[in-house]
């Protein structure tokens, strides 16, 4: 009887042990899955950190590039405006020499007697009658002084004339006239008016 009970006890306890072992193994397996699932999001977040950093760096580089382009555009625009203003208002520019010479000729009484009133100036005229930019030439002499020669035209109520001039750079780096001559056009004889030089201006040649 005792041996039967022992056999019965062993027979009953074995399935229970097996079930406990299976349950324990299942629990461990389930726990491992939970651990893995809990680790995966953390691992994914860490893997996304470098990618986010790279995106920020790329965006910063783009911003710097755009800023450089904008600054370069502003600098170029400023340089263009500076060149235009210098050309228009500088007395050493061809346009400045032209404006100054025309003012002297227009206000000279001898030129007014020769060409009349309401005197206007213009540059060369092409075949279509369009007036081009005033012809001029610049060079340096053996002393390093800048010279500029120019030719343009005058038109008044009594006639027209041609202006010939040459300026040179003095010691003060300012232009002085070597000559400023107005010559009438048309008629049987051409008349000339020497507007400059004045007696105080020395000829550098």
pLDDT tens profile 10-24: 444 445 444 544 545
Q: Residue 185: which CATH number?
A: 3.10.450.320
Same domain, yes or no: 119 and 76:
no
Q: Is residue 138 part of a domain?
A: yes
Model pLDDT, residue 139:
96
Q: Do 107 and 134 belong to one domain?
A: yes
Token pair in block for residue 173: 């780096």
Residue 154 contacts residue 161 (beta carbons within 8 Å): yes
Q: Does residue 14 belong to any structural domain of this protein?
A: no
- Domain boundary pick from 49, 72, 89: 89
Q: Could you list the residue range(s) of the whole structural domain that residue 69 is in? A: 59-89
The answer to whether residue 26 sits within a structural domain is: no
Q: Say if residue 112 is in the same domain as residue 167.
A: yes
Residues 128 and 190 placed together within one structural domain of the fold? yes
Q: pLDDT of 35-90, one tens digit each?
A: 444 445 555 544 554 567 777 777 777 777 778 888 888 888 877 766 666 655 56
From the centroid of its chain, how far is CA 100?
31
pLDDT digits (tens, 9 = 90+) for 131-184: 666 889 999 999 999 999 999 999 999 999 999 999 999 999 899 999 999 999
Residues 116 and 69 placed together within one structural domain of the fold: no
- Assess if residue 40 is contained within a domain: no
The predicted pLDDT at position 24 comes to 53
83 and 157 belong to one structural domain: no
Q: Identify the pLDDT of residue 12.
A: 44
Average pLDDT over residues 22-35: 49
pLDDT of residue 86: 60
Q: Which of 89, 111, 129 is the last residue of a domain?
A: 89
Residues 128 and 146 in one domain: yes
- Asked whether the predicted pLDDT for residue 31 surpasses 80, the reply is no
Q: Which residues of 82-97 are buried (b: 16+ CB within 10 A; e: fewer)?
A: eeeeeeeeeeeebbbb
Residues 86-91: contacts with CB under 8 Å, at least 24 apart: 91/174, 91/175
pLDDT of 85 reads 61
- Is residue 16 assigned to a domain? no
Same-domain status, 149 and 178: yes
Do the domain assignments include residue 35?
Answer: no
Query: What's the domain count of the chain?
Result: 2
Asked if 135 and 66 sit in the same domain, the reply is no
**Collapsing DSSP states into helix, strand and coil, what is residue 174?**
coil
Claim: this prediction has a pTM higher than 0.75: no
**Residues 105, 186: one domain?**
yes
Residues 169 and 122 in one domain: yes
């Amino acid at each position: 009887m005792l041996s039967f009970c022992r056999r019965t006890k062993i027979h009953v306890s074995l399935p229970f042990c097996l079930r406990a072992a299976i349950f324990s193994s299942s629990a461990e397996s389930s726990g491992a899955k939970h651990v893995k699932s809990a680790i995966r999001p953390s691992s994914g977040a860490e893997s996304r950190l470098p990618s986010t950093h790279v995106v920020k760096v790329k965006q910063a580089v783009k911003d710097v590039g755009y800023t450089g382009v904008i600054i370069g555009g502003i600098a170029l625009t400023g340089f263009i405006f500076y060149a235009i203003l210098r050309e228009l208002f500088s007395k050493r520019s061809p346009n400045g020499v032209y404006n100054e010479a025309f003012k002297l000729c227009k206000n000279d009484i001898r030129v007014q007697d020769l060409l009349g009133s309401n005197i206007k100036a213009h540059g060369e005229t092409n075949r279509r009658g369009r007036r081009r930019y005033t012809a001029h030439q610049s060079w340096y002499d053996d002393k390093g002084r800048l010279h500029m020669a120019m030719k343009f035209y005058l038109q008044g109520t009594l006639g027209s004339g041609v202006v010939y001039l040459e300026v040179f750079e003095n010691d003060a780096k300012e232009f002085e006239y070597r000559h400023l001559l107005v010559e009438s056009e048309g008629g049987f004889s051409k008349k000339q008016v020497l507007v400059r030089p004045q007696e105080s201006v020395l000829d550098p040649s």
